[in-house]
Chains A and B, each alone.
Chain A
Amino acid sequence: MPDPTQEGKGQTKEWKPDVDMPVVYFQGVSKSYGRIHAVSNITLGLSGGVTGILGMNGAGKSTLFKLLMGKLKPSAGEIRLFGTDPWKNPAPYAKVGFVPEHEKMHDWMTALDFVSTFARLHGMTRDQANTEAARVLDFVGLSDVANKQIGKFSKGMRQRAKIAHALVNDPELIILDEPLQGCDPLARTTVMNVIRELGKMGRTVLVSSHILNEIERITEQIIILHQGKLVALGNLHAIRERLDEIPHTIRIVGKDARSLAKDILEHPAVFGLSFPSETELLIQTYHFGSLHAELPGLIVNNGHEVTLIDNPDDDLESLLGHLTGGGA
């Protein structure tokens, strides 16, 4: 009967995850809106570890997550979350934490309220929820401001509050949609550490981003989406290796670009140089990896003063360009 004091342990009829299935399973999944294919024919199985989902804006990352969270119904194919169809049954969310991309939050709540209110939707009592909320807020480094209104938080703090709310049920699968967007460098580091920590704890983590080196700092296992299609899946370095034969550009800004160029030209991997301005040097190379590794030594040994080393090509856009044959 109703239990206003909320004492005692309660659980509805037990939902059992299917242990023979991967945690996340997509089989030929497509989602289209009229003629637009947000996601097309994705087949994927994931269990354990941190996986980065890379893609430009509009590549279908959020759609993929919303399909997995039962917010959207697939146009074709099968989705299983712990072996259960999430569109039909919300029970598997007991083991999932979802950090949506949306900026909008319940600004009138304090962080502690926010986290503990939604913890109670997992069937916790008020006391359990408060204890758990305090624990996860501490985990994401928000315990000092737990009683402050979310509306007064910075973007990074808001992201961390969202992550805390997703972790409160100690989930086995954590899905983070663009968690680093809008974070200042400090918050970024904190969030990244939290994600890495979760990976170490053996949880399955899905993180999406459109910035390659963000993902690179978190995990090596990546999935690349482009225009709704899965274009690459696997270890980031393995994917890169395949791309090593493709020309890369490195941009160096320093005091004396011309004398630096002389030293760099001696490196066997370099096949072209250009000087867009007095202090700027662009290097063309086929072996980005080896040159990038040796470059700092080369500069220091020859006593050059350099203010910036940048890889204008080493972003998702050019990676996608190469993967899809120059179409990005």
Chain B
Amino acid sequence: MSDKPTIWRALDRKAMAVAEFTLRQQRKRLSTWVVMGVGFVAMAVLTMFYIDSMMREYEAIDNDGDSRDFDMDGYPNGQENLYGTDILDPESHPGLLNPPVAPDDPSKWINEDGFDIDSLSEGSYGYDDDGDCRTEDKTDSQQDTNNNNIPCDVQIYAESYSNNFRINGDNEVDEDPDEDAYAKESIHRAFVLALGKFGFVFLIGIFVPLFMATGLIRDEMSSGTMHYMLSKPIARSEVFLYRILGFLGLAWPYMTGMVVLAALVTGFFGPSEGFFRFGDLGVWMAILLASLLSLLVYAMLFCLLGVLWKHGIILALPFAAWELGMILTTLGAPDAAILRFSVIGWAMNIVDAGAALTWTDTSLLVALGLWAGGNTLGGSEPLTGSLALEIFASDSGLGMTPLVTIVVSVCVMLVQAATFWFIGGALFKSKEID
């Protein structure tokens, strides 16, 4: 037992006492459990939708239309292309060849060659498995319509000015992504990002502090019980900080528990070759980090607003609306300068940078879904899940590498928290307490 008198020891005792007191006080309140329960139910309902979409089968669609039979001669277009007969002439079909060829079941031409979506990057992919591109009657240039000097392939180009990809396939080369696998993978990623961004960082991150932190100082000031705490040799800005610590003592484990639960559920239900998707853990860590920081910053801010005015929650609501506007902005324009004046913009940077580190091929996955197999016949429809993933995945807006983005954003959020603490403490110090 050391007897060294340090500033730390004394501070620490008071900090522990106030934080512990606050934590126990919150624990005894019914409203605390109502707020947390509602948060849990909301997240659980969202997760149900996710589980449902993972359990479903996604029907294969004919991306290039070669299962159709334009001339109604019983032979699908793809089969006619393969044997070089005319797809528009009912009198020309492989059945008239010698030896005659029996017509294929059209379903054979729906899901053609799988496109391996697990390892994608720039380059030339695919092989014309069904042979309808490599037919002998085609010239070299007909076999290489994408002009990459490789006949019958799909070329993926990375655009130099952005993170986006362009996909260009030779005619009749299908390299058709498996709709079911694609939908599950992209819905999974879109859901993880949506739940992380809107569920944890935004909804829980704002509303739990809104209901629980706004009154941390104000409630005690109004009821008169603050006198007990302020009649002790403790500075008011210390009380402010330690009350927040007490709040976080409850809110942080709550958030961590929910994020871990969500990570487990999506890990088990998400598409993977093993029993669990360990590959997502990086994204979940980023979501956890961003949501814990947003709890901290919003708690400081809302507690400050509570000190400022006895109806601080009224001041907090327009702020929550502002943050909603900002989180929507991050989806479309993650590099908008106005996002620097929000809390959520920085938190989103962390999530997006974490996602960029973990899922390096997300933008390619989106491009692939929108390309949808390079439909050359009939209308092209994006694959299920690609639009959702396009909405919820964004680049982190700082234009730095993901790791630097995370470090910078964490620092900015800590500075925001410290600033709100400083202002809140100063305001509290200047308040007369009746």
Contact = CB atoms under 8 A, between A and B. Distances in A.
Interface of A: 1-4, 6-13, 15, 66, 69-73, 90-94, 96-98, 100, 102-106, 108-109, 117-118, 120-125, 129, 165-166
Interface in B402-416: none
Nearest to A108: B28
B13 A100 contact: no
Contacts of A3: 8-9, 12-13
B9 A121 contact: no
Interface string B1-21: 111111111111110111011
Interface secondary structure of B, over-half rule: helix
A121 B223 contact: no
Given A10-B5, A102-B227, 19 more contacts: A3-B12, A8-B2, A8-B3, A10-B10, A69-B231, A72-B433, A90-B236, A93-B232, A93-B233, A98-B231, A105-B225, A108-B25, A109-B24, A118-B229, A121-B14, A121-B17, A121-B18, A122-B232, A125-B13
B224 A117 contact: no
Contact of B227 (A1, A97, A100): A100
Contacts of B228: 100, 106, 118, 165
Interface bracket on B = 35 or more
Contacts of B18: 121
Contacts of A96: 231
B202 to A, nearest CB: 32
B63 to A, nearest CB: 60
A7 B235 CA distance: 23
Interface string B163-199: 0000000000000000000000000000000000000
B336 interface: no
Interface of B: 1-14, 16-18, 20-21, 24-25, 28, 223-225, 227-236, 432-434
Contact of B234 (A71, A105, A121, A129): A121
Contacts of B14: 120-121, 123
B229 A12 contact: no
A182 to B, nearest CB: 15
Contacts of A117: 17, 20-21
A70 B226 CA distance: 13
A90 B227 CA distance: 13
A121 B238 CA distance: 11
B2 A71 contact: no
A124 B13 contact: yes
B2 A104 contact: no
6 closest Cβ pairs, A-B complex:
A10-B9, A102-B224, A120-B17, A121-B232, A98-B231, A100-B227
Contact of B434 (A4, A9, A71): A71
Contacts of A166: 231
Contact of B5 (A11, A15, A100, A118): A11
B434 A2 contact: no
Contacts of A98: 227, 231
B16 A4 contact: yes
Contacts of A121: 14, 17-18, 229, 232-234
Nearest to A118: B228
Contacts of A73: 432
12 contacts: A1-B6, A1-B8, A8-B1, A10-B6, A71-B433, A102-B224, A103-B224, A106-B225, A121-B17, A123-B13, A129-B17, A166-B231
Contacts of A97: 231
A268 B230 CA distance: 57
B377 to A, nearest CB: 69
Given A102-B224, A104-B225, A106-B225, A13 B7 contact: yes
A176 to B, nearest CB: 12
A9 B5 contact: yes
B231 A93 contact: yes
A309 B223 CA distance: 42
A90 B228 CA distance: 13
A70 B431 CA distance: 10
A102 B234 CA distance: 21
Contacts of B2: 7-8
Nearest to B17: A120
A2 B231 contact: no
Contacts of A108: 24-25, 28
B429 to A, nearest CB: 9
A8 B10 CA distance: 10
B8 A2 contact: yes
Contacts of B24: 108-109
Contact of B4 (A8, A15, A70): A8
Given A92-B233, A100-B228, A165-B228, A71 B432 contact: yes
Task: Find the residue from B6, B9, B25, B224 having the highest chain A CB count within 10 A.
Answer: B9
Contacts of A15: 233
A165 B229 CA distance: 11
A83 to B, nearest CB: 15
A121 B239 CA distance: 10
A3 B228 CA distance: 24
B13 A90 contact: no
B187 to A, nearest CB: 44
B432 A72 contact: yes
A10 B5 CA distance: 4
A238 to B, nearest CB: 33
Nearest to B227: A100
Contacts of B230: 69-71, 90
